[in-house]
Amino acid sequence: MPFAICSLKDFSRVDPTQPFCFTACTDQEHSLICPQDRIPDNVLEHSGPWRCFRVRQTMDLDLVDNFAKMTRLLVGNGIGVFSTSTFNTDYVFVPENQWDKARAMLEQHHFLPGDPAES
């Protein structure tokens, strides 16, 4: 499933009950990660398409080493990375045109147990 990373004026046109709706709000911006076919019409700009790996292992919030190793592997091999997390799960987004390369690298280095859990 292709995703978009968006900058929004506000969240008025976002349905947070839809699956894979990641929002962030700071004093300077409103951001959204959503399936590309659900980009709201009040988007200021967006990037995509991105594809997503769901990290199957629940990571202790105090342990970041494995996640850091995984992202360093991808970035060190020229693969763009964007990540986000929920309380229990980490998600790694890569540009759609780098998906196959990223998947092969993560499988080769045993970060994925066989098939990745593609979102």
pLDDT digits (tens, 9 = 90+) for 4-31: 999 999 999 999 999 999 999 999 999 9
Q: CA 38, 92, 5 angle in degrees (round to 5)?
A: 35
Give 67's DSSP letter.
Answer: H
User: What is the average pLDDT across 90-100?
Assistant: 94
User: What is the average pLDDT across 91-108?
Assistant: 94
31 in Cβ contact with 63 (< 8 Å): no
Q: How confident is the model at residue 56 (pLDDT cuts 50, 70, 90)?
A: low
pLDDT at residue 115 in the model: 45
- CA dist 88 → 11, 34, 65, 107 (Å): 24, 19, 16, 22
Q: How confident is the model at residue 64 (pLDDT cuts 50, 70, 90)?
A: low
CA pair distance 1, 56, nearest whole angstrom: 17
> Which phi-psi region, left, alpha or beta, contains residue 20 (left: φ > 0; alpha: ψ -120 to 50)?
left
pLDDT at residue 88 in the model: 80
* pTM of the predicted protein model: 0.83
Helix (H, G, I), strand (E, B) or coil at 92: strand
Say whether pLDDT at 107 is over 70.
Answer: yes
